[in-house]
Amino acid sequence: MRMSHLYQLQKKIVSLNDLIQHISVLKSQQKKIVFTNGCFDILHKGHVQYLSLAADFGDVLIIGLNSDASVKRQGKGDDRPVNNSDARSLILSALEFVSFVVEFNEDTPLNLIEKIVPDVLVKGGDYDPAETNPTSKKYIVGREIVLKNNGRVEVIDLVQGYSTTSIIQKLKK
């Protein structure tokens, strides 16, 4: 019997404990694990292009998704997130190149990265893989863990003209 499409999407949304089990199997199969994270509040062209390019760095793309409380603490505004974490998770899981979506409640994905130990850590072009000062806005959280384990840290250029904040501002006009 064929699984429903919705069920297939929901299977990609996992807890950290379930993800760790999946990763153990995937690493034993020599699969290259790619990790990125973000709010992904209103999915747009910039997000899709960024995530598709991130997926090209390996075999398995894992997205660490900021919880609603975590997004609120980012200081992006009282009206954020626009979409709750359930909606954001499901939308991200619909992208064919996304393997898993795991929510985190902390301000940074450091705990996730420590548990996953991805082969490739990816961030957007507003970050600098050479930045070593954790207080800098350009610092990539988890870079030391990945590099210490012979992984890579990659940065993907942002698509100009696309941001959730600019979309919200346009809608308000």
Rounded-to-integer distance, Cα 39 and Cα 32, Å: 24
Low-confidence ranges of the chain (pLDDT < 50): none
Rounded-to-integer distance, Cα 8 and Cα 25, Å: 19
Give every strand in the sheet of 152-156, ordered side by side: 100-104, 60-66, 33-38, 120-124, 152-156
Residue 81: is the preceding peptide bond cis (ω within 30°)? yes
What is the per-residue pLDDT for 3? 75
Count other C-beta atoms under 10 Å from residue 35's C-beta: 29
Rounded-to-integer distance, Cα 53 and Cα 38, Å: 15
CATH superfamily of 5-172: HUPs (3.40.50.620)
Amino acid at 134: P
What is the per-residue pLDDT for 76? 80
DSSP-assigned beta bridge partners for residue 102: 64
Count other C-beta atoms under 10 Å from residue 29's C-beta: 9
Rounded-to-integer distance, Cα 20 and Cα 129, Å: 25
